[in-house]
Amino acid sequence: MSLPLAATHPRLSVHLFFPIIVIVLTTCSSAFGQSDTQLDTTVVDDTVSIAAAPVTTLLVEDGKYDDGDSLRLFWVPSIDDQLIDSKVTGYRVYRLVNDGAAEPIVDLLPGVGNYTDKNVELDSSYVYYVATLTESGEYPSIHTESISPQREWINFRRGYLFIIMMIISAAIIFYVETAKRGKKLFVRKIAGLEAIDEAVGRATEMGRPVLFIPGISDMDDVQTLAALTILGRVSRTIADYDSKIFMPVSRSLVMTAARETIKTSYQAAGRPDAYNDDMVNYVTDEQFGYVAAVDGLMVREKPATVFLLGAFFAESLILAETGNSIGAIQIAGTARPAQLPFFIAACDFTLIGEELFAASAYLSGEPRMLGSLKGQDVGKAIAMITILLGVVAVTLSEAWGVGIMTDLHAWLVKVFSSS
């Protein structure tokens, strides 16, 4: 009988001797003339023990560094929430949106003292309370203040990530500017690239075409961009040698960009008349439809040289095996680890992972690309030094308990966990 009364006075912090308080409140309510006839007629039996006290210190705060899409609740669990012989069976979080009706949003296990509501909207206000659940009923807490979620524009948790990115970016800009001033930047030789001229020359001697496959991803994949950069160099050599190239693609945007690239190369070689839009043709977006067409093309045209550069998926081995079966020299490259083994097994030269990107910079000689490559090397140097330092620190810390190494390891964890 007393439980509904507690709900009508949510701001009371009630723990023990609940029935007595109920009686007092009932009396007070009557004295101040509140028109609740139910209260006036309530008869409280103080021999009935109250099942559980509500949670206390209920707080709500805006989710930090988010898009205004979360609110976090904290509370101290009921004092009756015990490990042994607990009266509490759980907690139920209620929410009032824009001063509307209370609605339960989640049930939680006993012992839980926080909850993050991720189903909130920027322009709404929210009030919460938490009910302690027992077998005999619910015991609500006080209500929180009304709160609206806020959007933060900067995520300061990623501060270290930002600093590292700035260091690498600064290195890239430095090397780009250095290259622009004419200083030669050293990039080590990459085996597959040395073979490009030889492979195109072989196609010329044999009177057969060169087949260039730029993967099956669109222009939003950096591997496709790298492939098209290499295409620029390959098509320039083809134009110089007066050889032939054909390039079936599976994306319309790639077709457009590839035509631009080859056209520019032919113009640079002084042979714009030899360029033809039919060198690049769209087949289909469908992965295995594209593969069926390219395989057919390979066995019919018998290209002397096949370039497989870009983003490849399950079609990699099918294409590489068909190229191998017609005796073509194959130069492949992708940054997809799962496909690299097939290229290594079936092709003559393979650009592994980042070598594909390095190759495009190496071949183009563009200051921006070379500077970018050198700047990324700075990032790798940071990673290598950090790994060495971190491994030494954590080993000395864990094996011999060297204090300074524990601090160093903790700092590295803090920096590199900020992503």
Question: Of the candidates 81, 117, 138, 295, which one interacts with other proteins according to CB under 8 A?
Answer: 295
285 touches other proteins by CB under 8 A: yes
Which one, 306 or 393, has the nearer CB to other proteins? 393
Interacting residues with other proteins between 120 and 179 (CB under 8 A): 158, 161, 164-165, 168
Residues in contact with 301: Cβ distance below 8 Å, sequence separation at least 6, in sequence order = 208, 209, 211, 246
Question: Of the candidates 274, 314, 404, 410, which one interacts with other proteins according to CB under 8 A?
Answer: 314
180 touches other proteins by CB under 8 A: no
What DSSP assignment string belongs to 206-245?
A: HT--EEEEEES--TTSHHHHHHHHHHHHHHHHHHHHT--E
Cα-Cα-Cα-Cα dihedral sign, residues 33, 34, 38, 44? negative
Which one, 80 or 315, has the nearer CB to other proteins? 315
67 touches other proteins by CB under 8 A: no
Question: Of the candidates 70, 178, 324, 418, which one interacts with other proteins according to CB under 8 A?
Answer: 418
Interacting residues with other proteins between 11 and 30 (CB under 8 A): none
CA–CA distance, 25 with 378 (Å, rounded to integer) = 71
Task: Identify which of 150, 154, 110 has the alpha carbon closest to the alpha carbon of residue 132.
Answer: 110
Interacting residues with other proteins between 334 and 373 (CB under 8 A): 337-338, 340-342, 344-345, 352-355, 358, 373
Which one, 48 or 253, has the nearer CB to other proteins? 253
Which one, 60 or 351, has the nearer CB to other proteins? 351
Quick one: which segment of 29-37, 73-81, 134-142, 407-415 binds other proteins (CB under 8 A)? 407-415
Which one, 401 or 403, has the nearer CB to other proteins? 401
Q: Kindly state the tokens that stand for 368.
A: 């921006």
Question: Of the candidates 121, 286, 365, 407, which one interacts with other proteins according to CB under 8 A?
Answer: 286
Beta bridge partners of 265: none
Quick one: which segment of 6-14, 203-211, 229-237, 385-393 binds other proteins (CB under 8 A)? 385-393
Residues in contact with 275: Cβ distance below 8 Å, sequence separation at least 6, in sequence order = 239, 262, 263, 266, 267
Task: Identify which of 193, 237, 208 has the alpha carbon closest to the alpha carbon of residue 328.
Answer: 208
191 touches other proteins by CB under 8 A: no
Which one, 241 or 416, has the nearer CB to other proteins? 416
Quick one: which segment of 22-30, 118-126, 234-242, 255-263 binds other proteins (CB under 8 A)? 255-263
Task: Identify which of 373, 347, 368, 346 has the alpha carbon closest to the alpha carbon of residue 358.
Answer: 373
Tell me how crowded residue 309 is: count the other CB atoms within 10 A of its CB.
Answer: 28
388 touches other proteins by CB under 8 A: yes
Beta bridge partners of 60: 73
CA–CA distance, 96 with 108 (Å, rounded to integer) = 18
Quick one: which segment of 27-35, 133-141, 195-203, 377-385 binds other proteins (CB under 8 A)? 377-385
